Chains A and B, each alone.
Chain A
Amino acid sequence: KQEVTQIPAALSVPEGENLVLNCSFTDSAIYNLQWFRQDPGKGLTSLLLIQSSQREQTSGRLNASLDKSSGRSTLYIAASQPGDSATYLCASASNYQLIWGAGTKLIIKP
């Protein structure tokens, strides 16, 4: 059964730094890999979706990569800002279901 892991559970960095969030999955037979952002007490906002045939997707300061052979996806955030503070979740899509990681809580210190 697919398992999705996000390490670390929390991360604190100074404003302006570039950073990488990690997502690993055990079964490489996925349809796509999705990254979401969740602000405290709120729902989730979709950030990026990488199809299984793609290696990366970019949106503004965000870049997500996918390496199915190693079971890894990364979310790269350039020039971090305090407004990037949130919990970031990844989810793998396979067999008509999304399997979710528990998230990484990111704090950007001004």
Chain B
Amino acid sequence: DVKVTQSSRYLVKRTGEKVFLECVQDMDHENMFWYRQDPGLGLRLIYFSYDVKMKEKGDIPEGYSVSREKKERFSLILESASTNQTSMYLCASSLRAGGVTDTQYFGPGTRLTVL
């Protein structure tokens, strides 16, 4: 079975702090994704990566950056956390390179609160 793990289930940070969210997948998947999920808005794509050191902006990249130095690990960085970044963050991975149309496998999520 594919396993996607996220570094924290719950995180509380203060406004202005730099926040790192890490995601690791163990199935040698090419694609990795970061979403945020907010009530009534569904999932929104922040960034995705289809290869090591490659990244593409999603729908809402402002205020975020990402890093993919190894195939299995995809990090989301909040350079200066703000209260409007309080949300559930979900990481996902999928097998084939070059597209997001494969089945995506999700981690358990990190619920981030910014005070």
* A contacts, CB < 8 Å to B: 4, 31-32, 34, 36, 41-46, 49, 89, 91, 93, 96-98, 100-103
Main secondary structure of the interface of B (DSSP, over half): loop
Interface residues of B in 58-115 (CB under 8 A from A): 58, 90, 92, 98-101, 103-109, 111
Point out the residues of chain B lying under 8 angstroms from A41, CB to CB: 109, 111
Point out the residues of chain B lying under 8 angstroms from A98, CB to CB: 43, 45, 100-101, 104
Q: A43 and B90 in contact (CB under 8 A), knowing A89-B42, A102-B40, A102-B41?
A: yes
Point out the residues of chain B lying under 8 angstroms from A36, CB to CB: 106
Q: Are A43 and B107 in contact (CB under 8 A)?
A: yes
Q: Are A32 and B101 in contact (CB under 8 A)?
A: yes
Q: Nearest chain B CB to A45's CB is how many angstroms away?
A: 7
| Of listed A43, A49, A89, A97, residue having the most chain B CB within 10 A | A43
Q: Are A97 and B106 in contact (CB under 8 A)?
A: no
Q: Given known contacts A43-B106, A46-B104, A97-B58, what 11 new A-B pairs fall within 8 Å (CB)?
A: A41-B109, A43-B108, A44-B104, A46-B105, A96-B99, A98-B45, A98-B100, A98-B101, A100-B42, A102-B40, A102-B42
Query: Which of B40, B45, B106 lies in contact with A45, CB distance below 8 A?
Result: B106
Rounded to whole angstroms, the CA-CA distance of A32 and B101 in the bound complex is 7
Point out the residues of chain A lying under 8 angstroms from B58, CB to CB: 97
Q: Are A44 and B101 in contact (CB under 8 A)?
A: no
Q: Are A42 and B108 in contact (CB under 8 A)?
A: yes
